[in-house]
């Protein structure tokens, strides 16, 4: 067994400790500056006399203030993530958050005035070169100007939401997380939580998966009256909000915040749907490999193979830097900085949060990467993923604060791309068994992101429309939509049993962020399509890609991508991404053929 890594990050470039006097100083200065900002600009933004110079100075001051005030919160959350069991760190984080809110309330007027400023005035100002760097920020903020209520109305909505929509959201969470899921197997009954019952659906033993599926269904069904009521309430609450805010269709608010035209979203989701045969093709082979007559809802996540090779952390570093370097030296150099300067926390230890993330908040500070590295091949991919985010953030640091973070549909661009580069390098070195495992895992990951989210988006559309046209929906009516939409992605390769029809009842995304799901399909397919472009153009591609990462959040997805001559309005572009997925499936089929031959050889 290879030794586990002891690598921890170094946060001293932020602050020395929780008691560092600079933290208190930053917060006190921040409050004073926020008050001064409000005194200086209140009433001057939403004004017929607004000048380009004033608007420029206001955004610049806003950025600089926000940038400083964010630092203690960045530090507190990083500190907390490596030891969530330390009450001092928890209390520190909470205190910093409260102080940050205290500061931010003084700045709310700025966004409101920017939204309400007269269009005739703003459209003239936006042509002034002094505002060039803030054009995207101002325009994207103002996308919502038609959908904004008066200040007293907004305040009312905000206050009532705590006992309205937010209360229902919380009731949903509390209900689902407190359902005792009773799993019966081998004559025993085990009571488990929702994440645990979902994990059991991935158990290699079919009886356990079947029991888990039964238990999930029973737990949800016995709470279906409450959960359906919450769904109906929140879907209707959104319909009322949408009417008051003058949105003409349920998805509109989400499209606006993603800065995507409805036609583009429709194109992406539609192209994914047109390729559902890829899903069926893979699951037919999966059925054969599992040796089953028929696949059903509890076989969908059955593991096919598992990788066995161990990869020590130092080796992961080599693999990642080499695969990034084969693509571009710039990318490899940016990634190497994370290892050389201790920007990564990789060690698994008590109290540390699970999972992985890359954190970056202001362009004047470097990003940090957080992983739990356990020497599995999967951990190499995860580290490659987070370093992809890291390189993206690192390259965007040339932008100022309001242009630093990208929009949601592009958030997973560099991470998924980085993961693809690492995946190619891992399969290149793997033995036949590990190769099978890597491919199967990759395919199922891609399916979960592209096709499942597309099907879920269709479910949400149907649900919102049904509620708007047909009034309150029963559990069975919603279940019927769910079953139809999810079944459609499998064609006849998987037969979802009747039990599966209740499985929409636990999906928090539908409740908390309506129509969020399509961003996943969009992001993943975009990367696949870019990967296809890279394979075609080879060395001509990386400079364009890097330019795109350097742009950070300074442009809308459409403008950013057309900059690197990609037209996201073209169906062929998206189909190119699906063809990459097809290629991965074909490769898996070939390797499976080799694997069967090898098994036969060994036997004879
Ligand atoms: Zn990510």
CA of 358 to the centre of ligand 1 (A): 8
Q: What is the mean pLDDT of residues 185-198?
A: 88
The reported pLDDT for the residue numbered 51 is 95
Q: How does pLDDT run across 31-75, given as a tens digit for each residue? A: 999 999 999 999 999 999 999 999 999 999 999 999 999 999 999
CA of 389 to the centre of ligand 1 (A): 7
CA of 419 to the centre of ligand 1 (A): 10
Q: What is the mean pLDDT of residues 461-465?
A: 98
Q: What is the mean pLDDT of residues 358-382?
A: 94
CA of 208 to the centre of ligand 1 (A): 31
CA of 20 to the centre of ligand 1 (A): 31
Inter-residue contact 439 to 286 (CB < 8 Å): no
Q: What is the mean pLDDT of residues 266-270?
A: 97
Q: Quote the CA–CA distance of 64 and 107 in Å, as a whole number.
A: 13
Beta bridge partners of 336: none
CA of 357 to the centre of ligand 1 (A): 7
Q: Quote the CA–CA distance of 434 and 427 in Å, as a whole number.
A: 8
Contacts 24+ apart (CB under 8 A), 473-482: 473/228, 473/231, 473/232, 474/228, 475/224, 475/225, 475/228, 475/502, 475/505, 478/228, 478/231, 478/504, 479/504
Count of C-beta atoms within a 10 Å radius of residue 309: 16
**Adjacency order of strands within the sheet including 368-370:** 344-345, 368-370, 357-359
CA of 390 to the centre of ligand 1 (A): 10
CA of 412 to the centre of ligand 1 (A): 5
Instruction: Give CA angle at 428 (427, 430), nearest 5°.
Output: 60
Q: How does pLDDT run across 202-226, given as a tens digit for each residue? A: 999 999 999 999 999 999 999 999 9
Instruction: Please give the C-alpha separations between residue 576 and each of 36, 241, 349, 402, 440, in angstroms, as whole numbers.
Output: 53, 38, 42, 33, 21
CA of 416 to the centre of ligand 1 (A): 7
CA of 262 to the centre of ligand 1 (A): 25
Round the average pLDDT of the chain to a whole number and report it.
94
Q: How does pLDDT run across 272-308, given as a tens digit for each residue? A: 999 999 999 999 999 999 999 999 999 999 988 888 8
Q: How does pLDDT run across 66-77, given as a tens digit for each residue? A: 999 999 999 999
Q: What is the mean pLDDT of residues 130-152?
A: 92
On the question of pLDDT at 573 being above 90, the answer is: yes
The continuous run of DSSP H or E covering 188 comes out as strand 188-192
On the question of pLDDT at 227 being above 90, the answer is: yes
**Do strands 357-359 and 344-345 pair parallel, antiparallel, or not at all (unpaired)?**
unpaired
The reported pLDDT for the residue numbered 123 is 93
Confidence class of residue 1 from pLDDT cuts 50, 70 and 90? low
Confidence class of residue 604 from pLDDT cuts 50, 70 and 90? low
What SS3 string covers 255-295?
HHHHCCCHHHHHHHHHHHHHCHHHHHHHHHHHHHHHCCCCC
CATH 1.20.140.70 fits 21-148, yes or no: yes
On the question of pLDDT at 108 being above 70, the answer is: yes
Q: What is the mean pLDDT of residues 503-529?
A: 92
Domain boundaries, the chain: 21-148, 168-304+451-518, 313-429
Q: How does pLDDT run across 519-547, given as a tens digit for each residue? A: 989 999 999 999 999 999 999 999 999 99
């Amino acid at each position: 067994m290879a030794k586990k890594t002891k690598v921890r990050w170094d946060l001293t470039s932020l602050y020395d400790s929780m008691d560092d006097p600079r933290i208190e100083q930053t917060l006190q200065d921040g409050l004073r500056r926020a008050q001064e900002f409000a005194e200086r600009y209140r009433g001057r933004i939403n004004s017929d006399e607004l000048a380009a110079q004033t608007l420029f100075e206001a955004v610049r001051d806003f950025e600089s203030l926000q940038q400083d005030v964010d630092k203690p919160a960045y530090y507190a959350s990083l500190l907390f993530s490596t030891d969530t069991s330390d009450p001092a760190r928890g209390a520190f984080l909470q205190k910093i958050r409260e102080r940050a809110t205290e500061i931010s309330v003084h700045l709310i007027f700025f966004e409101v005035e920017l939204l309400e400023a007269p269009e005739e005035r703003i459209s003239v100002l936006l042509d002034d070169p002094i505002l060039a760097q803030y054009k995207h920020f101002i325009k994207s903020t103002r996308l919502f100007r038609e959908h904004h209520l008066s200040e007293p109305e907004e305040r009312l909505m905000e206050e009532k939401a705590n006992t309205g929509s937010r209360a229902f959201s919380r009731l949903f969470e509390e209900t689902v997380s407190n359902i005792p899921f009773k799993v019966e197997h081998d004559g025993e009954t085990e009571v488990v939580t929702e994440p645990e019952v979902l994990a059991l659906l991935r158990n290699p033993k079919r009886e356990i998966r079947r029991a888990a599926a039964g238990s999930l269904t029973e737990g949800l069904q016995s709470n279906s009256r409450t959960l359906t009521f919450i769904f109906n309430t929140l879907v209707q609450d959104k319909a009322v909000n949408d009417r008051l805010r003058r949105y003409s269709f349920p998805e509109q608010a989400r499209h606006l915040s993603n800065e995507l035209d409805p036609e583009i979203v429709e194109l992406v989701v539609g192209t994914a749907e047109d390729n559902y045969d890829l899903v069926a093709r893979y699951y037919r082979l999966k059925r054969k490999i599992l040796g089953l007559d028929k696949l059903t809802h509890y076989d969908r996540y059955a593991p096919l193979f598992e990788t066995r090779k161990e990869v020590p952390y130092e080796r992961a570093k080599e693999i990642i830097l080499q695969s990034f370097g084969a693509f571009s030296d710039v990318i490899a150099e940016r990634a190497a900085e994370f290892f050389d300067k201790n920007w990564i926390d990789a060690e698994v230890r008590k109290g540390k949060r699970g999972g992985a993330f890359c954190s970056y908040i202001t362009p004047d500070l470097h990003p940090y990467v957080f992983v739990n590295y356990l020497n599995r091949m999967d951990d190499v991919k995860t580290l490659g993923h987070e370093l992809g985010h890291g390189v993206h953030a690192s390259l965007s640091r040339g932008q100022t604060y309001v242009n630093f973070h990208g929009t949601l549909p592009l958030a997973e661009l560099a991470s998924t791309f980085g993961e693809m580069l690492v995946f190619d390098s891992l399969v290149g070195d793997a033995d036949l068994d590990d190769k099978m495992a890597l491919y199967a895992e990759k395919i199922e990951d891609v399916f979960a992101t592209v096709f499942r989210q597309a099907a879920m988006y269709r479910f949400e559309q149907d649900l919102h429309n049904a509620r708007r046209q047909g009034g309150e929906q029963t559990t069975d009516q919603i279940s019927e939509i769910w079953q139809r939409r999810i079944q459609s992605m499998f064609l006849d390769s998987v037969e979802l049993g009747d039990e599966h029809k209740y499985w929409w009842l636990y999906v928090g995304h539908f409740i908390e962020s309506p129509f969020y799901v399509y961003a996943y399909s969009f992001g993943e397919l975009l990367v696949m399509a870019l990967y296809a472009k890279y394979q075609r153009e080879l060395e001509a591609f990386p400079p364009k890609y890097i330019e795109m990462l350097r742009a950070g959040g300074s442009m809308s997805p459409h403008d950013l991508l057309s900059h690197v001559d990609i037209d996201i309005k073209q169906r062929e572009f998206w189909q190119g991404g699906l063809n990459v997925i097809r290629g991965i499936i074909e490769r898996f089929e070939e390797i499976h053929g080799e694997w069967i031959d090898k098994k036969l050889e060994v036997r004879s």
